[in-house]
Chain A
Amino acid sequence: MIKNIWKEFRKNRAFRLGVILLLFFISMAVLAPVIAPYDPEALLGMPNQRPSAAHWLGTNDIGQDIFSELVYGSRISLKVGIVAALAVTTLGSTIGMVAGYYKGVVDKVFTVLTNVAMTIPSLPLTILLVGFLKTGMLGMVVAICITAWAGTARVVRAKVLQIRELPYIQIEKLMGVSDFKVLFKHIVPNIADIVMTRCALSVGGAMMTETSLSFLGLGSFTQKSWGNILHFAFYRNGVINNMWWWYLPPILCISGCMLGFVLVTHYGRSRSQLIKG
């Protein structure tokens, strides 16, 4: 496994760039206290400073160090993204798997549900849900989960529908192996790669939603995320006064991070695997 990843890392340029980007942002989140020069909450005197040796990205309107905010912000953004993506993927895959494996009435019900979920515009619904649920990370994760599972469910269902007709699954049924074992021993490993791909893409999607919500002021105000920084940059005249060191870095971070998650899904798509035997 590790050997394969290393091989892929060496040969596949897209995957390599993705891994490097993600390692960069993850180490930023993990090592935040080491990297950040100041406490992001601390009021350091002079507000609205330009970038300088003391404050690499200047300070905001109440005198907090923007670079420190940015470094700590990666924690919230990544955490929400990853937790929401795991929840979305678990929910979506389970529904897709059950629908695809059992077919019939179960499938029809889930397909209708999926189609309904896919037609509802997700951002307005998420906003609505966040409004009703408690603010904070949990509310946000639940809201993202409710609106974002359908895509994964659909992809997984299609794949399971295809796999269940293959002889190796039919043989299991003929031998009298239980559905539970067939699902977890024989179907799960064979859909693992698409589930992982969906999961990585969901992280990007969830981070985007989190950013949008925080930007709109629906995130949690107590915790600083990249969207939260953008929110203040926008509403407290950072954008109008063209203080690029305030609004540009969080945008670059979000874009870079999302790009990283998209690129790692290129795992296994290098050209060298075309020919066999």
Chain B
Amino acid sequence: MLDIQNVSVKFSSASEVGAVEDVSLTLQKGTKTALIGETGSGKSVLLLAVMKLLPATAEISGSVLLEGTDLLSLSEEELETIRGDRISYIPQGGGNGLNPLMRIGMQIGEPLIDHRGYSKKKAIAQSVELLRRFRLGKEETWVRAYPHMLSGGMRQRAMIAMGIAAGSRVILADEPTKGLDQDRIQGVAECFQYLQGETLLCVTHDVNFAASVGEYISVMYAAQQLEYAKKEAFFEHPLHPYSRAILDAMPERGLKSNIGFAPPHDAYSVKGCRFSDRCPYKNKLCDEKKPPFIDVKGHKVRCWQYAD
């Protein structure tokens, strides 16, 4: 459905470390993938690169195939017919992406008017139907409300409804739970679970949220993808030392802090493994040579431990 191949992003050719380095992700039709990483790991930049929403100064390489079409090679005009219609992007910021002067129903219905030629009335009726999918109750009242009348969690759900309104089959979501409290995170998670048939790529720093939404988990660190696996495999047998540290640090699993502090974003070691200066298992090779992305029976990991 969506095939991200060797995508790299650099903001200035001078710096050796890019914002995203050689990331490949294949999203099968109807699957949900959660992309975990700390701030600055490059996960949000990756989403923007896929949508081709980065400023002109960014150098992007690789390819992004949406049902065979390479999005990166399309012109801005061609992309505009695809964005919102076949692929949607839900930006971060707890629903601040909504227009404050427009009723929710109109905003959700807008892509339908733009891409499907619906009348205003029909679009609003359709947006009630969309909200019903999320089982929120009182959908008719909702569509008449303005964004400021809703809580952060409700706004975020309205954004998701907007994303799928025009029948977009691929949804990219950037930190949909940032700043929300746990009940509301739960609400957003349910919202994504009700999606049937849509393909989802969701960027988050919340591991629990990733677990409840994703069928596949990908981990990014310092611009590189370190691990990719099915959810069960990832949570039961994480392979990368970084992934293990993340899971150990979860309050549910003991809140252990057993690796060092992260270096500043531009101070990672360039030559070897990005994680080596915090890794408890590192050896000489890790400092000298970049580890490849190794396939261990369908579970991919970027670590020398798993090289033959």
Direct contact of A and B (CB under 8 A): yes
Which single member of B40, B55, B58 contacts A277 (CB below 8 Å)?
A: B40
Of chain B, the residue at the smallest CB distance from A270 is B55
Nearest CB of chain B from residue A79's CB, rounded to whole Å: 41
Q: How far is the CB of B218 from chain A (nearest CB, A)?
A: 19
**B residues less than 8 Å from A277 (CB atoms):** 19, 39-40, 44-45, 265
B180 CB–A CB distance under 8 Å: no
Chain A residues positioned under 8 Å from B54 (CB to CB)? 275
In whole angstroms, what is the CA distance A277 to B40 when docked?
Answer: 5
Closest B residue to A277 by beta carbon equals: B40
* A275 cross-chain contacts in B, Cβ below 8 A: 45, 48, 54-55, 58
Query: Smallest Cβ distance from A208 to chain B, in angstroms?
Result: 32
B44 CB contacts on chain A under 8 angstroms:
277
B182 within 8 A of A: no
In the assembled complex, A2 has its CB within 8 A of some CB on chain B? no
Q: B79-112: which have CB < 8 Å to A?
A: none
Restricting to B1-36, which residues have a CB under 8 Å from any CB of A? 19
Q: Does A271 contact B (CB under 8 A)?
A: yes
A267 and B44 alpha carbons, distance in the complex (Å): 27
A277–B39 Cα gap in the complex (Å)? 8
CA distance A151 to B160 in the complex (A): 40
Cβ contacts under 8 Å, B56 to chain A: 272
Cα separation A70 to B285 with both chains bound (whole Å) = 75
A258-276: contact bitstring with B at CB < 8 Å (1 yes, 0 no)?
0000000000000110110
Are the CB atoms of A272 and B55 closer together than 8 Å?
yes
Q: Scan B42-61; emit 1 where CB is below 8 A from any A CB, else 0.
A: 00110010000011111000
Once bound together, how far apart are the Cα atoms of A271 and B28, in whole Å? 35
Query: Which parts of A207-258 form the interface with B (CB within 8 Å)?
Result: none
Chain B residues closer than 8 Å to A274, beta-carbon distance? 55
Tell me the bound Cα distance from A275 to B174 in angstroms.
14
A277 CA to B48 CA, complexed, in Å: 11
Are A272's CB and B39's CB within 8 A? no
Restricting to B186-209, which residues have a CB under 8 Å from any CB of A? none
Give CA–CA (A219, B45) in the complex, Å: 58
Bound form: Cα–Cα A114–B292 in Å: 65
* Closest-CB distance, A232 to chain B (whole angstroms): 49
Contact B40 A272 (CB under 8 A): no
Instruction: Please report the C-alpha to C-alpha distance between residue A160 and residue B156 in the assembled complex, in whole angstroms.
Output: 29
Distance in angstroms between the alpha carbons of A271 and B265 in the assembled complex: 24
A161 CA / B257 CA spacing, docked (Å): 39
Residue of A whose beta carbon sits closest to that of B39: A277
Binary flags per residue of A81-117, CB closer than 8 Å to B gives 1, else 0: 0000000000000000000000000000000000000
Q: Contact: B55 with A271, CB < 8 Å?
A: yes
- Smallest CB gap from B11: residue in A: A275
| Interchain CB contact under 8 A, A272 and B57 | yes
Alpha-carbon distance A277/B58, docked complex (angstroms): 12
Q: Which residue of B lies closest to A273 (CB)?
A: B55
Q: Please, how many angstroms separate the alpha-carbon atoms of A111 and B66 in the complex?
A: 56
**Chain B CB within 10 Å — which of A272, A274, A277 has the most?**
A277
Give Cα A271 to B45, complex, Å: 17
Closest residue of chain A to B40 (Cβ to Cβ) is A277
Q: Determine the residue in chain B with the shortest Cβ distance to A11.
A: B57
Complex formed: what's the CA distance from A48 to B40 in Å?
70
Of B39, B44, B48, B55, chain A has the most CB atoms within 10 Å of the CB of B55
Contacts of A271 in B (CB 8 A): 55
Q: Determine how close the nearest CB of chain B comes to the CB of A206; give it in whole angstroms.
A: 34
Residues of chain A lying within 8 A (CB to CB) of residue B45: 275, 277
CA distance A235 to B39 in the complex (A): 68
In Å, the complex CA distance between A121 and B54 comes to 47
A272 partner residues in chain B, CB cutoff 8 A: 55-57
Kindly provide the distance from the CB of B223 to the nearest chain A CB, expressed in whole angstroms. Answer: 11
Point out the residues of chain A lying under 8 angstroms from B48, CB to CB.
275
Give Cα A275 to B52, complex, Å.
13
Chain A residues lying within 8 Å of B55, measured Cβ to Cβ, are 271-272, 274-275
A60–B57 Cα distance when bound, in Å, is: 54
> Which residues of chain A are within 8 angstroms of B19 by Cβ–Cβ distance?
277
**CB nearest neighbor in A for B19:** A277
A271 to B56, CA, bound (A): 10
- Closest CB-CB distance, A167 to chain B, in whole Å? 14
Q: How far is the CA of A266 from the CA of B93 in the complex (A)?
A: 26
Tell me the complex Cα distance, A274–B265, Å: 19
Residues of A within 8 A of B40 (CB): 277
**Closest Cβ–Cβ distance, residue B1 to chain A (whole Å):** 26
A-B contact pairs, 9 of them (CB 8 A): A272-B55, A274-B55, A275-B48, A275-B54, A275-B55, A275-B58, A277-B39, A277-B44, A277-B45
State the 8 A-B residue pairs at the shortest beta-carbon distance, nearest first.
A277-B40, A272-B55, A275-B55, A272-B57, A274-B55, A275-B54, A277-B39, A271-B55
Beyond A275-B55, A277-B265, list 4 extra A-B contacts (CB 8 Å).
A272-B55, A274-B55, A275-B48, A277-B19
